[in-house]
Amino acid sequence: MVDARKLCLNPKNLDTIRKHIIRKLSKNNVNNLRWTENESEFVLLVIDDFLNKNPWNKKIMNIGQYIQYVDKKTIDVCFSQIYKKHMEYMKSIAMEKMVAKSTVGEETLEERIQRSSMNMNPTNEVIDKKLDMSDVPKDDSNLDLDKYFDETLKQRNNDDTKIEMVIKKNKEIMEREVCDEDADEKNIIFTEKQQEAGRKEKNVIEKPDSLKSILDDLKKKHKYTKTHIVSVDSRDRNTDAYANPNTFKIDLNTTYKNVYCIELISAIIPKSEYVINSNNNVIYFSENGGSEISATISEGNYTIDELVTEIGTVMTNASAISGSSWTYTASVNSKTNKITITSGNPANLFELYFNGGTEKYSNTERTVYKQYSVGTVIGFTKTDLSGTYTYTGTNQYNLNGETYILLKLDNIGNLSGTETSKNSISGSFTKINLNTTQNDFKYYNNKEEYISKYELSSPIGKLDQLNISFYNYEGSLYSFNGLENSLLFRIKTLSADYD
């Protein structure tokens, strides 16, 4: 199977590119470059960024040509930026020598050289002007800085023109050799004679033997993989068996064999679960230490003014049912966004209950909310309150609803949570952010957000059905309230002849 990203980021290929860069630096009189892990990491970042912006299109070039294209492009970029870093480093040393005698009592020369090296940031896309240090006078004390920099600037301008001409020539060579749209896809590697002739005529960098071996292997195996695009719409489910679009099983119109990769390309997900729903719509309280009373808020989406009015109403009604007939009101502070619940008479002391006991947490325990408690929405913590007739929440209210949902595909698990994560996270295929307004649709695209891909260590023998479910963080099925969803998958398979 062909994966251009893995090939181009292969450690052997990285080492080859590093050697080419050092060779180019040597030709530019840079023989004392200190190559560190930072340079290697920078090369990796450049390659990865280039792959993201210039994905392989097999209709334009085959995989061998594509890797050559990546090599040459990234070598140019890495060379220019690492060359710039080295020149800045050398320039800092020269400047330190010029002012070293006037820095008594300040930080040492070595300290400033180290600081200067650490602060370098090779991110500009232009080639830094080459600085020739050979003409720096050994006697720094009598150095005329103005004259020195005038001469240096003139030299840098001349060198800059030469460097731009070399890079322009290399780019033209690369484009002529690689961007041949009519190239035969089977001819992944140029013949040895073609490569040798090209190197002599155009000074093209020779492809390392390790890369040749990889491409030879790809030439034999890339024809054994196939990509399938599969669209799943919740409206296509059996609604008799699966009334709600948050969990359903759907048959695929093709049986896919030897599946080794499943990727979510895009999705359309409604953010339609009510802010107040059956999982968070109960207020637990008691009056004068009496029996516990529960007041249930109707499911739905509320403005904050509607919600505080509803809280006072349902608590008053619940009190009447219990035989007390106390009245309650709720209000919100517009500056702090905190809710206060008050009884109608200062003499009527009541209690609020939010503590639902404990659950296992790593090697200890932690407090949880009472089941179905509205506390997390109205800003009250998992603590019971008593002794007065009015209480104000510790936190701001939250009427934003769920911030993300979890997609599960039967036993195809892709996510791992922390040690204390809810069970809903571990084993999920992916996490879909609901960064949209209530009752609007979230349009997920893996190119704009993050890649949701699952590569199996051993292929699935047969895939003809998908079991799809959507959960919230707490592990409850996310309620779409009847609105449908749509998913687009990329499924990759191996042929039976794959070795």
Residue 397 within a domain: no
Q: What is the pTM of this model?
A: 0.56
Same domain, 21 and 167: yes
Domain boundary (368, 392, 416) is at 392
In which region does residue 430 sit, left (phi positive, over 0), alpha (psi from -120 to 50) or beta (all else)? Answer: beta
Residue pair 318/294 in contact by the 8 Å Cβ criterion: yes
For 106, the domain range is 4-207
Residue 277 within a domain: no
Same domain, 157 and 175: yes
pLDDT of residue 132: 40
Same domain, 151 and 241: no
Q: How far is CA 393 from the centre of its chain?
A: 35
Residue 407 within a domain: yes
Nearest CA among 432, 486, 26 for reference residue 237: 486
Q: Which residues contact 479 (CB under 8 A, 6 or more apart)?
A: 244, 246, 272, 273, 274, 277
Residue 59 within a domain: yes
Same domain, 251 and 311: no
Same domain, 319 and 447: no
CA end-to-end span of the chain: 10
Same domain, 196 and 333: no
Q: How far is CA 415 from the centre of its chain?
A: 13
Domain boundary (161, 179, 207) is at 207
Residue 215 within a domain: no
Q: How many domains does the chain have?
A: 3
Domain boundary (360, 392, 424) is at 392
pLDDT of residue 453: 86
Same domain, 366 and 455: no
Same domain, 386 and 408: no
Residue 232 within a domain: yes
The number of C-alpha atoms within 13 Å of 71 and in the hemisphere containing its C-beta is 27
In angstroms, what CA-CA distances link 315 with 155, 177, 331?
83, 78, 14
Paired residues of 452 in beta bridges: 264
Q: Looking at residue 468, which CATH number applies to its domain?
A: 2.60.120.1100
Q: Describe the chain by its helix, strand, coil percentages, rounded to 5.
A: 35, 25, 40
Same domain, 77 and 169: yes
The amino acid sitting at 448 is: E
The burial class, CB within 10 Å (0-12 / 13-18 / 19+), for 233 is middle
Low-confidence ranges of the chain (pLDDT < 70): 1-14, 24-40, 58-59, 79, 86, 89, 94, 96-223, 417-424, 496-499
Neighbours of 445 (CB within 10 A): 11
Same domain, 179 and 238: no
Residue 71 within a domain: yes
Residue 499 within a domain: no
Neighbours of 299 (CB within 10 A): 16
Same domain, 368 and 438: no
pLDDT of residue 97: 64
The DSSP string of 314-375 is HHHHHHHHHT----EEEEEETTTTEEEEEESSTT--EEEE-EEEEEEETTEEEEEEPTTBSH
Q: What is the DSSP letter of 60?
A: T
Same domain, 288 and 190: no
